[in-house]
Structure 1
Amino acid sequence: MDYNKKEILAYLKEILAISSPSGYTKNIMDYLIHELETLNISYFTTIKGAIIATVKGENDEYERTFSAHADTLGAMVKSIKPNGALALTLIGNYMMSCVEGENCTVETLDGKSYSGTIQTIKPSVHISGDEARELKRIPENMEIILDEKVFSNSDVEELGINVGDYICIDTRTTITEKGFIKSRYLDDKASVSILLYVLKYITQNHLKLAYTTNFYISNYEEVGHGASSCIPQKTKEFIAVDMGAPGFSQNSSEYSVCICAKDTSGPYDYELRKNLIQTCREYHIPYKTDIYPHYSSDASAILRAGWDVKTALLGPGIFASHAYERTHIDSILATIDLIINYIMK
């Protein structure tokens, strides 16, 4: 099928530009609601802010639900230090070494934004020498240096910054001429852009779906409970669209759709996985099957919550996951191709 790369990348760039660490997702969800309304797609929102869009199919007793999560990693102000620096606590799980020296923005409760930089407490080798090099990169040894003339905790408080304010880390999004996409939070904003484009493609091409299909955009996946509630009652298949994780000893690829057989939460449904792979083979869609030893998804969350459904996990291959990530447009296109061909079967 012929997919519009410019439209896909436009969605992705706009979504990546909206900061949305878990718990601070209203802006990104408002953007998605606006796009759904523009496409005239039926949807509803859950109490905790997730979005579930629905496209009617020929069979409305057996429903499929695809998910992607709009929330990302991030941080929060843990305390204000006597010298005006900010201690931080993590939102989600990532290595502190991959955010050292990154620019960030502190968002206050009253809507003010302040820029800053994430540094270690010994950021200069000219001052600390080997102590700076050998310092363990853990949250306790990291801090936010504000781009403000502050010298005490009272100076910071006068700005309106308080404990609990969100810290949004800059994405540094870059798209190369050769189709590589580098950015923080491709997990899982690449998949959100994929589902949004799939909805647009369905609408523009008047596709007839075999089954009523739901598109669940969750907003607390990175902290474990994203899609754990409120999935449509007739859902029989729940397919999480999340990242594949290429890297050392893995089978995943940045140039194909990745289908997970098993992760930390256990194996995904065998028959559903087989059906997805058969779809790839039938339509000559490049795919890789893989196992992820330190991973769980929205599909994991719904199984832990007690939902009696078949689950699967697929998505574009995202290199250096939970760090400064990279994928390729080929992987995004393969994921779109699998989803569209599958929902028509």
Structure 2
Amino acid sequence: MTRLRIDVEYLTDTLRKLLETPSPTGYTDSIVRWVSAELERLGLDVELTRRGAIRAIRPGKEKRGARAIVSHVDTLGAQVKFLKDNGRLALVPIGNWSARFAEGARATVFTEKGTYRGTILPLKASGHTFNEEIDAHPIGWEYVEMRVDALARSTPDLARLGIDVGDIIAIDPLPEFLDNGFIVSRHLDNKAGVAVMLAALKAMQQEKVKTPVDIHWLFTIAEEVGVGASSVLKHEVASMITVDNGTTAPGQNSNEFGVTISMADQTGPFDYHLTKKLVDLCRSNEILFQKDVFRYYRSDSASAIEAGADVRTALITFGVDASHGYERIHVHALRSLSELITAYAASTVAIKRDFEETGSPKGFTKQPVSKAQQTLSPNVRASQLDLEKKRRAAKEPEPAK
């Protein structure tokens, strides 16, 4: 089956709605409910894990050897470290992001008594007071604080408002959807990945696409803190494709246009055969793509493997500039990713041995071996044996290894 036509208006409208729903890691109930309702509207039954990871299975011809597609609904955020004597809040980050990007951010703190708005500011925020010191002030989470937009001039004032240590803070995304297709916002990682998956599912439902195996549509709730897909996979799943962001920066090959296929991240190479299949699908369906390697990056795929899941994994991404800051992407990449997902979901199963969790060596996969290596290997082994015989005959000691 060739790629399907993607409803780009639906994709971008969905992304807008996702960005409007705050979901820092640890405070994801609202976004879980929203995504679950949308999956049900698209015709799938939804089941949630105890903590709220989402699984929706679109039936195929076979349950065995199922394919999973996963993205995460949680985003970066912050948490109250302690209540300060000046009536402001000391913070720690949720996820790995720089306090440089926190400075000046508008935010919401969620308390047991309700929500409060506020601004994250450097400790020396006023040029009229600190003059040139505002530019010499160090950068770091210990050098910022949250000013709450309520009467709070002391620790008791904050306590009276109901603000407490551990309260979670959502950072405003401030999205802009430009006419030229660029989208600028915080939290495109990974609200854009979620929108991509939903747009692909919508296209498949409209075209009544039949797939050779079940497709598990998964949405995790704690990827930004390294947990991700550690506890959402079923044993039937043989392969999993993660949809997330690729970093466009000097020294990287990612692009804000087309699909960026990750060949490896900091946890090592992705599955050779699954990654090659995705590359071949891009070529046969004329989907623009490029490959990249990420050195300081991990995703839902890593958490699944580390949790013990024996599945083939791959990572497909939309290029994002300034990841974990004010991010920028292009709708072309989002559409391309959705197209690739539709082509992959309907593609034939090449490794049917994967229908079972274990099996004999018969039917196991093969990776290319160079002809030179195939030709030389027997000769090399023969020469090594000949040398060993000569050493034994001469009673020479083995060389140090």
Decide which structure has the larger Cα Rg and report it: 2
1:86 pairs, out of 86, 89, 93, with: 89
Alpha-carbon distance, 1:17 to partner: 0.7
Structure 2 distance, partners of 1:301, 1:151, is: 43
Structure 1: which amino acid aligns with 2:161? L
Structure 2 distance, partners of 1:154, 1:128, is: 27
Structure 1 distance, partners of 2:235, 2:266, is: 26
Tell me if the contact between 2:88 and 2:145 (Cα under 8 Å) persists in the aligned partners.
Answer: yes
In structure 1, the gaps of 5 or more residues are none
Deviation digits for residues 204-242 of structure 1 (CA, Å, limit 9, x no counterpart): 221111221101100000000111113021111011111
More helix by share: 2
Correspondence list, 1:44-83, <5 A: 44-83=47-86
1:171 paired residue number: 173
Structure 2: which amino acid aligns with 1:147? D
1:123 pairs, out of 116, 122, 125, with: 125
- Runs of 4+ more than 2 Å apart: none
2:251 pairs, out of 235, 249, 252, with: 249
1:34 paired residue number: 37
Structure 1 distance, partners of 2:157, 2:46, is: 45
Structure 2 distance, partners of 1:135, 1:257, is: 40
2:276 paired residue number: 274
Aligned residues: 344
SS at the partner of 2:296? coil
1:106 pairs, out of 109, 113, 119, with: 109
2:307 pairs, out of 294, 299, 305, with: 305
SS at the partner of 1:318? strand
SS at the partner of 1:238? strand
Structure 1 distance, partners of 2:141, 2:84, is: 14
Structure 1 distance, partners of 2:94, 2:56, is: 27
Structure 1: which amino acid aligns with 2:251? S
Correspondence list, 1:1-345, <5 A: 1-110=4-113, 112-345=114-347
In structure 2, the gaps of 5 or more residues are 348-401
Deviation digits for residues 53-90 of structure 1 (CA, Å, limit 9, x no counterpart): 11111222111001100000000111111110100111
Deviation digits for residues 81-118 of structure 1 (CA, Å, limit 9, x no counterpart): 111010011100011111211111111123x1111101
Tell me if the contact between 2:6 and 2:199 (Cα under 8 Å) persists in the aligned partners.
Answer: no
Structure 2 distance, partners of 1:4, 1:66, is: 19
Deviation digits for residues 304-324 of structure 1 (CA, Å, limit 9, x no counterpart): 111111110012111110001
Sequence identity (%): 38
Structure 1 distance, partners of 2:44, 2:234, is: 16
With normalisation by structure 2, the TM-score equals 0.84
2:356 paired residue number: none
SS at the partner of 1:278? helix
Structure 1 range deviating more: 24-33 or 35-44: 35-44
Structure 1 range deviating more: 302-311 or 195-204: 195-204
Tell me if the contact between 2:60 and 2:213 (Cα under 8 Å) persists in the aligned partners.
Answer: yes
Alpha-carbon distance, 1:198 to partner: 1.7
Deviation digits for residues 116-142 of structure 1 (CA, Å, limit 9, x no counterpart): 101010112222233221211111110
Deviation digits for residues 276-303 of structure 1 (CA, Å, limit 9, x no counterpart): 0000000000111000110000100011
Structure 2: which amino acid aligns with 1:159? L
With normalisation by structure 1, the TM-score equals 0.98
Structure 1: which amino acid aligns with 2:86? N
Deviation digits for residues 184-209 of structure 1 (CA, Å, limit 9, x no counterpart): 11101100111112222222221111
Structure 1 range deviating more: 200-209 or 306-315: 200-209
Structure 2: which amino acid aligns with 1:17? E
Structure 1 distance, partners of 2:324, 2:274, is: 27
